Amino acid sequence: MATRGMHGSGRHYREQTWAPLWVMALIWVSCGAAIVGTIYSIVDGGLSVMGDQGVSWAGIGALAGTGVAVFFLLAINAFFLRLDVEVRSDHVLIAFGPVNLVRKRIHYSDIEAVRGLTYRPLMEFGGWGIRPRPGKTAWTIRGNQAVAVTLKNGKQVYVGSEHPQRLTGAIQAAMRTAGAGE
């Protein structure tokens, strides 16, 4: 989903890219399997929180394992299944998930150049996510299109995008506006 125009937050452009459906399904199925396996071992394996001799540490451990699996499932969903990119009045904000705990700000004063490109995420970065390599870092979640932001220090930041030309144009327009205000 991409939106344009100024908003109350000084946002010029916003794009949300979700992880592929198969990634979400894989995460949910693997955590679900862990939960079902734990419940099965409690019920069929005879584990219980209260054993014949009192508290069963195996039963408590199995319940704790289920809790940990549920926690990781929710944490992965909250932090890493969506990439948000916002072009704001003085910087570009790149963040993972609706919570935006994992984020990066790139101020326009630090940008040398911006261009949309098609790249090979597996070959160049070893996959998707936050992928640092010498001289460049990728912030991507799917696909093979990005905006390469070249910083004045020579480093590059690849920002994954389903609409790289729109994102490039929005960053360039915001940089011109920010430059005119100085």
pLDDT digits (tens, 9 = 90+) for 149-163: 999 999 999 999 999
Please name the residue that has the structure tokens 């935006």. 100
How many Å apart are CA 83 and CA 129, to the nearest integer? 9
Mean pLDDT of 34-63: 61
Q: Do 106 and 138 belong together in one domain?
A: yes
Which one-letter amino acid corresponds to residue 143?
G
| In the predicted structure, residue 22 carries a pLDDT above the cut 50 | yes
pLDDT of 51: 52
70 is in which domain, residue-wise?
21-79
Coil, helix or strand at residue 118: strand
Q: Do 45 and 90 belong together in one domain?
A: no
How many Å apart are CA 129 and CA 141, to the nearest integer? 5
| In the predicted structure, residue 8 carries a pLDDT above the cut 50 | no
Is 85 in contact with 162 (CB distance < 8 Å)? no
- State which of 60, 79, 98 marks the end of a domain: 79
Q: 131: closest CA among 152, 171, 160, 105?
A: 160
| pTM score | 0.72
Length of the chain: 182
Q: Do 138 and 63 belong together in one domain?
A: no
- pLDDT band of residue 6 (cuts 50, 70, 90) is very low
**How many domains does the structure of the chain reveal?**
2
